[in-house]
Amino acid sequence: MSILNDISENLQRGKAKVVKELIQQALDAGEKPETILSEGLLDGMNIIGAKFKEGTVYVPEVLVAARAMNQGAAMLKPYLEEAGVKSIGRACLGTVQGDLHDIGKNLVKMMLEGKGIEVIDLGTDVAPETFIQTAIEQDCQLICLSALLTTTMGVMGEVVKKAEEAGIRDKVKIMIGGAPVDEAFCRQIGADVYTPDAASAADAAKALLTA
């Protein structure tokens, strides 16, 4: 079995310490950080996601896998940053109100920072007002929203409305992502950009900030 498979398997079992040891071994063996992320960590998380959906694993197993995922991703972060990048702008980022999923959001943060974007991480369960207040006070050019639940994706539309009400809509770009949202939803709520994954979110954010 390959080391990437081992990472995926151990992530599914929530063995964070072993996952980190295996990541180090993979790096030492010359494996690319992007490959370790996608074919090791994300592969394991996808399998756990599918099992959660079919009801063969439960919240506690998913939580320990998520912890291993976050720790493994944090370990890869320095390797995924572009060397010597200068700050090109500032974003506030969070998972919307009512939603506690943070793995995708953390990946987006990592990729944005890798492109030289300063990120104010507001965490999870973030109220629309908090995004707007932070964007104003911290002079953010981007508001980045993540949602994983069909019951919380609507909050993204509220953020767009609050930005309009606060008179900052023409000063910030609003980016959205997360499993239940898509391009059509992005247009429907009047957000600026939808991207399907963290890497494309970082590319789109860089393009917006350097346009």
Report the interface residues with ligand B1M, using CB under 6 A: 42, 45, 48-49, 52-53, 59, 62-63, 66, 98-105, 107-108, 144-146, 148-151, 175-180, 195, 197-198, 201
Q: Closer CB to ligand B1M, residue 30 or residue 152?
A: 152
Q: How far is the CB of 162 from ligand B1M (least distance, A)?
A: 17
Q: Closer CB to ligand B1M, residue 22 or residue 92?
A: 92
Q: Can you list the pairs that 202-206 forms with residues at least 24 positions away whose Cβ atoms lie under 8 Å?
A: 202/108, 202/111, 202/112, 202/114, 202/115, 202/117, 203/115, 204/175, 205/89, 205/91, 205/112, 205/115, 205/117, 205/142, 205/144, 205/175, 206/88, 206/115, 206/116, 206/117
Q: Closer CB to ligand B1M, residue 29 or residue 59?
A: 59
- In 3D space, the residue among 18, 197, 175, 17 whose CA is nearest the CA of residue 92 turns out to be 175
Q: How far is the CB of 107 from ligand B1M (least distance, A)?
A: 5
Q: Closer CB to ligand B1M, residue 26 or residue 191?
A: 191
Q: How far is the CB of 57 from ligand B1M (least distance, A)?
A: 9
